[in-house]
Amino acid sequence: MYIKRALTPVLLRACRQFPAVLVTGPRQSGKTTLLQEELGPLGYAFVSFDDPVTREFARADPNGFLDGFANQLLVLDEVQYVPGLFSYLKMRIDADRASHGRFILTGSQQFQMMRNVSDSLAGRIAVLELLPFALEELGDRAASTAAEQIWRGGYPPVVLNPEARELWLRSYLSTYLERDVRQLQNIRDLGQFQSFLTLCAAAHGQELNLARLGRDCGISMPGARQWLSVLTASYVVHLVPPYYSNLGKRVIKSPKLYFLDSALAAELTRQPSAETLWTSSMGGAFFEGWVVTEAIKFQKARALRPDLYFWRSQGGLEVDLMIESRGRLHAIEIKQTATPSLHHLRSLRRFRNLVGENKVGSLVLVCNVREPTPLPDRVTALPWHAWPRWLQENLAEDTF
C-alpha cells in the first residue's frame, strides 16, 4: 500500500524547475517507492545501482550506459555507487539546459554523494531529503497513543507491518553497521562503533558531550567527532543547536542530540514495550525527541532549512524547542503531562521576558492533553496528535 508523502508537491515542482533532482535520506525511508509511484506514470525509466551488473556497466562505460536510454526521462537509484557517472551527467545536462526533470537521482549516503554533487552538478540540481514517515502522513495508520507512536517509529516497513518491528529493526541495524558504516568511514572495530551508537541512543534528547561519549567508548574526542559525523551523514541522528542572538555562539556551543527515528533509539536502549518506554526514566526524552523530529520532518518535506534551536538561560531554565520563522521565534515546551500547571510555563515566561514580546511568536506546551487548551500568559497546551496541524498552520507559508 502506498502512503502519500508530504514531499510529493516539492518533488514535482523541482522536476519542473531543475535539470536534475536528488532525493536523499536514510535507507528504507521510501525514496524508491515515492519515485515509482509519483514519476512512474510520467514515463520515467528506473535503474537501480544495487544491481552489481548494472553498476559495473555504468562504471566501465558511462557514456554507453546513458546512451542506452537516449532522451528518456531517467531515475538512477542509489547513484552513490557510481561516482564517476556525475561528470557525464553534467555534460548531458549542459548540452540541453532547457530540459527540466530529465535525471532524478537517489542516494542514502551524504558524504560521498554530496561531494560529487557539489563538484559536478552545483547549480543544476535540486536536493531533497526524504525521512521516515511523519505523523501528518499516516492518517488512520497513526497510533492511538503517543507511547505507541514513539515505539513504532516512522520507517515504512514497520509502519506497514508492525508485527515485524523487532526483527526488522535488528536487521536494519546490522545491515547499517556492516554496509553503510564500513563505506562511510574506515572503521575497523564495528563492535566498538556499535557501543558508540548505543551510547548515543542513551543520550537521545540530551546536550551533546563528545568528550564523555568518547571516554565511555574508549576512543579519543576527535574519533568521537568523526564517528558522530557518520551518524549524521547516514541520517541516524540530528543535532539541534542552542539559540543565541550571536550567530557565532550557535556554532561553538554544544547542540542537543536526537535520533531521527524513535524506534531505532528504543531498540538500542532495550525498551521492551511502548508502556515501559513511556514510564521509564527516558520517557520524557523520547517524547521530546518525537516532537522535535516531527518538526524536522515537516521542514525537510518542504525543502526548508530546519531553523530549530533550544534555549537555556544562565539560571538553568530551558525551552525545549524554538522555531525561527519570518523574523519571529516560536517557543515550545514539551512535557509528558496530561495536567499542565503554572510550573510548566516558567521557562516560556522567562524566555518571552528576555527576548521581548515583539519578537516572540506562539508560546506552546506540547503535552498529553486531549484538546488544545488556553493557559495563562497566552500559552496554549497542545495535544501531541495536534502538533503536525500546528506546524502546518504556523509554518506552511515558509514552504519552497
Q: Which domain holds residue 60?
A: 8-129
Helix, strand or coil, per DSSP, at residue 332: strand
Q: What is the CATH number of the domain that holds 175?
A: 1.10.10.10
Pair 279, 314 in one domain? no
Model pTM score: 0.93
**Lowest mean per-residue pLDDT among 1-15, 172-186, 244-258:** 244-258
Pair 279, 159 in one domain? yes
pLDDT > 70? residue 24: yes
Separation of first and last alpha carbons in the chain? 28
Helix, strand or coil, per DSSP, at residue 159: helix
**Domain membership flag for residue 1:** no
pLDDT tens figures, 33-48: 999 999 999 999 999 9
Give the Cα separation of 64 and 45 in Å (integer).
Answer: 16
Among the three residues 77, 106, 129, which one is the final residue of a domain in this structure? Answer: 129
Among the three residues 129, 157, 183, which one is the final residue of a domain in this structure? Answer: 129
pLDDT > 90? residue 373: yes
Average confidence (pLDDT) over 210-214: 92
Q: Which pairing describes strands 125-129 and 379-383: parallel, antiparallel, or unpaired?
A: unpaired
Listed in sequence order, the DSSP H helices in the chain are: 8-17, 31-39, 52-60, 62-67, 85-95, 110-120, 135-138, 146-152, 156-160, 165-175, 182-184, 190-202, 210-217, 221-233, 247-252, 262-268, 274-279, 283-300, 346-355, 387-395
Pair 193, 284 in one domain? yes
Give the Cα separation of 37 and 303 in Å (integer).
Answer: 20
**Domain membership flag for residue 31:** yes
Pair 170, 69 in one domain? no
Pair 110, 159 in one domain? no
In this structure, what C-alpha cell is assigned to residue 378?
497566552
Q: At what angle do helices 31-39 and 8-17 cross, to 10 degrees?
A: 60
Give the Cα separation of 123 and 333 in Å (integer).
Answer: 39
Host H or E run for residue 20: strand 20-24
**Domain membership flag for residue 173:** yes
Pair 278, 350 in one domain? no
For the chain, what percent of residues have pLDDT higher than 90?
A: 70
Q: What is the CATH number of the domain that holds 377?
A: 3.40.1350
CB 15 within 8 A of CB 119: no
CB 293 within 8 A of CB 319: no
Cα angle value 288/395/366 (rounded, 5°):
25
pLDDT tens figures, 308-335: 999 987 777 899 999 998 888 999 999 9
- Predicted confidence at residue 397, as pLDDT, reads 65
Among the three residues 66, 98, 129, which one is the final residue of a domain in this structure? Answer: 129
Q: What is the CATH number of the domain that holds 58?
A: 3.40.50.300
Selected residue with higher pLDDT from 5 and 193: 5
Cα 126 to Cα 19, 105, 106, 198, 243: the distances in Å are: 8, 10, 12, 34, 29
Give the Cα separation of 312 and 354 in Å (integer).
Answer: 12
Pair 113, 205 in one domain? no
Pair 160, 268 in one domain? yes
pLDDT tens figures, 107-159: 876 656 666 676 667 788 999 999 999 999 999 999 999 999 999 999 999 99
The total domain count for the chain is 3
**Domain membership flag for residue 300:** no
Q: At what angle do helices 190-202 and 221-233 cross, to 10 degrees?
A: 80
pLDDT > 60? residue 246: no
Q: Which pairing describes strands 308-312 and 318-325: parallel, antiparallel, or unpaired?
A: antiparallel
**Domain membership flag for residue 70:** yes
In this structure, what C-alpha cell is assigned to residue 17?
524547475
Pair 100, 193 in one domain? no
**Domain membership flag for residue 298:** no
Pair 149, 175 in one domain? yes
Pair 90, 171 in one domain? no
**Mean pLDDT of all residues belonging to the chain:** 90
**Domain membership flag for residue 303:** no
pLDDT tens figures, 269-279: 999 999 999 99
Pair 158, 255 in one domain? yes
**Domain membership flag for residue 134:** no
- CB burial of residue 227 (10 Å; 0-12, 13-18, 19+): buried
